[in-house]
Homo-oligomer: A and B are copies of this chain.
């Protein structure tokens, strides 16, 4: 719960996430750091629940990420537990962080009756402060009694840090005639330039899908959702995205990622992941403008992504947009510094419906007045055609404002 103003892009209300067959959960006030709010969430998947996950590519990841990477590789026939706390990321606390992770998993295994090695852990908050695991484990007995199929909004609230609102999404699909539901929650909202996933996002479904299929879907769909957003170019040490499938729905197990019965499910999963990623970016620290950078004509999709990220991460582009200045010169600069093939005199640049520049030159027909009027919108679209190939990618970002400075110059105080 942030003391800063709620994002202008916050949804009017949290969506209705229905209970999911095969899952129970509880939240608690463990007092890890925050007072008077929940900061702990336990999700329990029934026996046989399959889990897929992607994690940060930051080379100095947190102890919970190290732990969960191993847990993911530990299949179990028993129930699956996910334990998430906010307040501290439990990163770079050395042995103390590793001890906290062990102690949390041991306590959870004992209380909830699960295999310790298969428990998934995630922590978010300040880096450099080890988690006091006893604060967490002390809550488990009470939470076990409170386990309930409902509670997604409470869960989304418990995992918030500088987020200004809880983030959730839900979708339905049919697999082989059986109705499937997908629920997801996520939290942001700074240190967001996910290289594998965003800080923390959890998606669950009652579908019956084998783990390799889940993992393959998650990897593919992450590329154009969580891996396409950037708040500040800083890749967190805690990024974790988990997808759990309880298998409680009434259809035969899907074992092949190419199975056409998955088509509708895949579209629904993409919808949930993209929705959550957009909620994360739209609650980026200090955001006043939501920015879409659509790059076409690059030599490859990866090249288009690198150019898009260079634009969306440029402090000068971001401050210009904050100032409602259609400063396309800074966009050129950001294209040129990306290190990707680009020729100044082949570039085409538009801001929303306004074509600004073609073949390296501003159009006679474009006026600063058109640009200035467009920049007053809260959602800004930058379209760049590199003019060299077929590579395309769309990146989503936000502006750089006094709000970002306010939040990050005193986050720990």
Contacts and interface: CB of A to CB of B under 8 A. Distances in A.
Interface stretch (A10-18, A46-54, A358-366): A358-366
A375 B387 CA distance: 48
A87 to B, nearest CB: 13
Contacts of A344: 59-61, 92
Interface stretch (A181-189, A271-279, A315-323): A315-323
A94 B232 contact: no
Chain A residues touching B, majority SS: loop
Contacts of A329: 89, 91-92, 126-129
* Chain A interface residue number, banded: 35 or more
A171 interface: no
A306 to B, nearest CB: 12
Contacts of A339: 59
A237 to B, nearest CB: 5
Interface stretch (A104-112, A139-147, A397-405): A397-405
Interface string A194-207: 01000000000000
A328 interface: yes
Contact of A95 (B234, B313, B361): B361
Contacts of A190: 316
Given A333-B236, A360-B94, A322 B60 contact: no
A1 interface: no
A153 to B, nearest CB: 29
Contacts of A402: 402, 405
A369 interface: no
Interface in A333-387: 333-345, 347, 357, 359-362
Given A232-B316, A329-B91, A336-B58, A128 B323 contact: no
Contact of A332 (B237, B337, B404): B237
A234 B360 contact: no
A357 to B, nearest CB: 7
